[in-house]
Amino acid sequence: MIIEKIIVGDVFTNCYIVGCEEEKICGIIDPGDSGEKIKERIEELGLKPVMIINTHGHFDHIGANHLFNLSVYIHKDDFEFLKDPEKNLSSFFSVPYVSKNDNIITVEEKDVIKIGKLYFEVIHTPGHTPGSICLKIENILFTGDTIFADGIGRTDFPEGDEERLIKSIKEKILPLPDDFIIYPGHGKSAKLIDFKNLFFL
């Protein structure tokens, strides 16, 4: 498995290129900006992009969706974020954004997204947004803005819910093995045990 992090946009969002080495294809997790930069790196890696996965619908995670002619996977509860600049927060930054990808595929808890020989399990972790998801593969967890190496996601945006976020973390993330590696939507990666040691809720 190939995992390549590219930091994009004004709020330093982590976009991940996740590739299947056998089939030389990849998915793009959260292309929030800098589409050309992402395309160039994919070409350098010798991969063919086959899909986009959005961990949630905020503009800094979906902002370059339209620059790729690819299917977009997103949780059904965040589907409207792709079409509504107020929900995805882009209207607050005077650059209203609407995703124009034709093929949007909604996912739910325990769905599996396949990229070549790679299988990602969808874990629905509402709180940061209603449709926030984490993606689990092997001992790796792509967490979007649900958790970071040093804390939990924000809930002060419209449709954020701190109680739901904490419930999601306690029930779906904390029970995972300590050796899982977090790949968050912003900031550095870390072992899940390091997050658990900081999490006192």
Give the domains, in start order, of the chain with CATH numbers. Answer: 2-198 (3.60.15.10)
Contact predicate 89/59, CB 8 Å: yes
In angstroms, the CA 145 to CA 32 distance is: 13
Q: How many residues are present in the chain?
A: 201
Cα torsion 76, 78, 79, 84 to 10°: value is 160
Q: Where are the alpha helices (DSSP H) in 45-179?
A: 59-62, 162-168
Instruction: Tell me if the pTM is above 0.85.
Output: yes
Cα torsion 139, 52, 42, 59 to 10°: value is -100
Structure tokens given for 148: 């970071």
In angstroms, the CA 61 to CA 7 distance is: 11
- Write down the pLDDT at residue 200: 57
pLDDT tier at 35 (50, 70, 90 boundaries)? Answer: very high
- Write down the pLDDT at residue 201: 47
Beta carbons within 8 Å of 50's beta carbon, 6+ residues apart? 25, 26, 27, 70, 71, 115
**Mean pLDDT score, 180-186:** 98
- Write down the pLDDT at residue 198: 81
In angstroms, the CA 53 to CA 196 distance is: 26
Burial of 104 by CB count in 10 Å (0-12 exposed, 13-18 middle, 19+ buried)? middle
In angstroms, the CA 66 to CA 101 distance is: 6
Contact predicate 134/146, CB 8 Å: yes
pLDDT digits (tens, 9 = 90+) for 119-161: 999 999 999 999 999 999 999 999 999 999 999 999 999 999 9
